[in-house]
Structure 1
Amino acid sequence: MGEPLNVGIIGCGAIAAQYLNTFPSLGSIRLQAVADLDPRRAAAVADSSENVRALSVDELLADPEIDTVLNLTIPAAHAEVAAQAIAAGKHVYGEKPLAAETTSARHVLELAENAGVRVGCAPDTVLGTGIQTARKAVDDGLIGRPVAAVATMVTPGHERWHPNPDFYYVPGGGPLLDMGPYYVTALVTLLGPVTSVIGSASHLREHRTIGTGPRAGKSVPVSVDTHVTGVLVHESGALSTLIMSFDAVQTRASNIELHGEEATLTVPDPNYFDGDVSICTLAGRDNGWDALPASAGYIGAGRGYGLADMALTPAGEQHRANGQLAYHVLDVMESLLRSAAEGTSVPVQSTAQRPKAVPLTSLSRLAVP
């Protein structure tokens, strides 16, 4: 875009701290203001940051100094806040998912196209050295033709640590829409877009008990499935098995295992930016696994690198953590839930370009050229 992005944050909950930790090291990002429905939370963030103003949401949207809104609201509010920001002529980068459902997400993309502004969306963890090193191994032919992947995320539930876990158990939440974006985005980055899915889903409990904070002991109703599993059919022909659960205890499986004709890769947790990539080749199968050195991705990345990548991407080019990719990932997840409800294979109507690879790069202090 040619200039640093002047950013205003809407939503000052727990995730905001991770972005605030990253921004001082990014020359392409200039945080101007923050807003929250709770003015005290916005004031606390502003007081902890240099030259950052606490505003109301309306004031932030009307502020001519802010050209980009970082939307860190709860999933149910993502589409509404994004639409308001676009109406104010601002670019939008949001936390995942892009919206609670595809109809609203598609509306956001249409508004942005008509307004000539950009839409970006987390997760940007796939831009770090972990997933990108695995992608380079695939692109370099180290595993031969990709055959399949298995992606596993199990946890007993976020109510054990989160003081206000309600939104994890209403539409827009659940293990698939909460954690699935990390895994599905990683699978699309590694293997390309998805054409159809088949899934099953269940939930064990009608209520969850908050385990920490001032509401500890209170009950939260559950209105979404909390264990979802299925198969994603990629355009390339590869098949990915996905397991997302808030009902299980733990797993010893690799977060993502990627199988090819010539080798298998273990891929690190896509909830993080780095991590070890290991390979076991057909020729060296008896010798076990070898670690691959970090060979691609943004070094030392943190939350907000997708926004920085958007700032550094010239006009007319597609930034990596883009809205169309986020829409496709949401469409895949929504299709998986629909397949589980209908008991049949469901085609995925959307597609997305596999984002361009990230060479081994440091963005620290890198300003917009």
Structure 2
Amino acid sequence: MKKIRIGIVGCGYISSIYMENCRKFDHLDLLACADIDEQRAAAQAKKYNIPRVYSVGELLSDPEIDLVINLTIPKAHATVCIQALEAGKHVYTEKPLAVTREEGELILKTARAKKLLVGSAPDTFLGAGIQTAIQLIENGEIGNPIGASAFMINRGHEHWHPDPAFYYEAGGGPMFDMGPYYLSALVSMLGPIRRIAGSARISYPERVITSEPKAGSKIPVSTPTHISGIIDFSSGAVGTITTSFDAFGGTSLPPIEVYGSEGTLLVPDPNTFGGPVRIRKKDEKEFIDVPLSYGYSQNSRGLGVADMAQALLTGNSNHRANGHLAYHVLEAMHGFHDSSKNETYYNMQSTCDKPASLPIEQKLS
């Protein structure tokens, strides 16, 4: 069986689940890993039985590697993606695609010039939960979609992450950290975005780390930490979204709800792959649970890589967690900040195709 040969750049916290899951897909062959911290790369290689430990330059120059998974911090995403593309590798990056729109555009431009594919997390919308929700919408179970609401509200990462400073730099904050999950899910269900309105603030100019090993250190905050926005979709549906690192304690707000002319759909947390999915028709008194119609209900990060690799093997460039979707989401996230700053609507300059839903019988392995 022909396989797509994989190299991972960035061996930090998120790399473990990618390394574990790459082994679950028969058409992926994880050959190498690299990190600026060579000891960290070596430790991950040993743990996950990865045969080659490289510097970043060595990995990118290895002719046997077809696709690079970029798991660096956000401000390095564009640099590593472009280096990989220039080296003739397809690339799949952790979210967001890049920090700036200009960087995102350059990634896509470079990929076009090199005739290579770009993919980007999140791929959670390919999981059983959201794919089931998409199926219900496409089958008309809630009628014509009218609107949606999304909430991601918590206290920030300084209380648990070992090195949380980058979450409060440009390219971080709740919108850029968690917004990709919510916006990718909304676009996968309701299609591309036409315009945005937003209000944003930095609630605390400084955060104190309470997690180890940097407990007591202070982080200057340079990106908004509480953002609320309105989304006008090209389909006519209207959405609202709030992302925050400024709330202490849990909330009772749902992750995502979609409202239709014939019913309401409760969509699971888009940072997960499973359920529950619940629906209430307009003539019914209660929500009911909907059985998940698809596989991949566990933590399946790397599913987007598997879909991208399958596209490469079949000659089909229409993989789902693709660069155009990721750029559209990147522009939207900036749009909330721009709208707040300029006190006006932000009109989207990009669009994307609504990702094709997975066939129920499809297995990406």
TM-score band, normalised by shorter chain = over 0.9
CA–CA distance in structure 2, aligned partners of residues 244 and 26 of structure 1: 33
Q: How far is 1:297 from its partner?
A: 5.5
Amino acid at match of 1:329: V
Query: In the alignment, which residue of structure 2 is the partner of 1:315?
Result: 315
In the TM superposition, residue 51 of structure 1 has moved relative to its aligned partner by 4.2
- What's the TM-score, normalizing by structure 1? 0.96
In 2, the alpha carbon distance for the partners of 1:334 and 1:81 equals: 21
Other structure's SS at 1:160 match: coil
Alignment of 1:196-275 (within 5 A): 196-249=195-248, 250-275=250-275
C-alpha separation in 2, matches of 1:214 and 1:179: 24
Question: Residue deviations 1:246-300, cap 9 Å, x none?
Answer: 001221111001100110010000000111100111111x2x1111111245454
Residues 129 and 360 in structure 1, CA contact (< 8 A), matched pair in contact too: no
- 1:16 alignment partner in structure 2: 15
Which string of whole-angstrom CA distances, capped at 9 and with x for unpartnered residues, describes residues 210-244 of structure 1?
Answer: 11112111111100110001001000000110000
C-alpha deviations, 1:346-366, integer Å up to 9, x for none?
1010000001001234647x2
Secondary structure at the counterpart of residue 158 of structure 1: coil
Q: Which residue of 2 aligns with 1:150?
A: 149
**How many residues get paired?**
362
Give the conservation status (yes or no) of the 8 Å contact 1:256–1:269. Answer: yes
SS at match of 1:329: helix
Q: Hey, what does 1:353 align to over in structure 2? A: 353
Q: Could you tell me how far apart the structure 2 residues matched to 1:126 and 1:234 are?
A: 18
Pairing of 1:16-55 with structure 2 (within 5 A)? 16-55=15-54
| Cα distance change of structure 1 residues 105 and 86 upon mapping to structure 2, 3 Å threshold | same
SS of the residue 1:252 aligns to: coil
Gaps of 5+ in 2: none
- 1:304 aligns with 302
Identical counterparts, % of pairs? 46
Secondary structure at the aligned position of 1:69 is classed as strand
Structure 2 SS opposite 1:25 = coil
The residue type equivalent to 2:142 in the other structure is I
SS class of match (1:76): helix
2:94 is matched with 95
On the 8 A contact 1:46/1:52 being kept in 2, the answer is yes
Q: Which residue of 2 aligns with 1:107?
A: 106
What is the CA-CA distance between 1:316 and the residue it aligns to?
3.8
Asked if the contact 1:298–1:358 (Cα under 8 Å) also holds between the matched residues in 2, the reply is: no
**Post-superposition shift, 1:114?**
0.6
Instruction: Write the distance in 1 (CA, Å) between the matches of 2:306 and 2:316.
Output: 16
Q: Which amino acid aligns with 1:5?
A: I
Distance across 1 between alignment mates of 2:86 and 2:315: 20
Which runs of 5 or more structure 1 residues have no equivalent in the other structure? none
Deviations 1:126-182 (A, max 9, x none): 000111101111000000110110000001111110010011000000000000000
**Shift of residue 18 of structure 1?**
1.1
Distance in 1 separating the partners of 2:297 and 2:211:
34
What SS class does the counterpart of residue 158 from structure 2 fall into? helix
Letter of the 2:291 counterpart: P
Q: Secondary structure at the match of 2:95?
A: coil
Q: Deviations over 1:50-71 (max 9, x none)?
A: 2421111110011111111100
Query: What is aligned with 1:181?
Result: 180
Partner of residue 289 from structure 1, selected from 284, 287, 290: 287
Structure 1 SS opposite 2:105: helix
- Give TM-score scaled by structure 2 length: 0.97
Q: Aligned partners of 1:344 and 1:176: how far apart in 2?
A: 19
8 Å contact from structure 1 (residues 299, 362) kept in 2: no
Give, as a single letter, the amino acid of the residue that structure 2 aligns with 1:346.
Y
Secondary structure of the 2:222 match is coil
For 1:231 and 1:167, how far apart are their aligned partners in 2? 26
1:297–1:358 Cα contact (<8 Å) kept: no
Q: Verify the 8 A CA contact 1:259 1:265 in the aligned structure 2.
A: yes
CA contact (8 A) 1:299 1:363 kept: no
Contact between 1:200 and 1:337, CA under 8 Å: does it hold in 2? yes
Other structure's SS at 2:21 match: helix
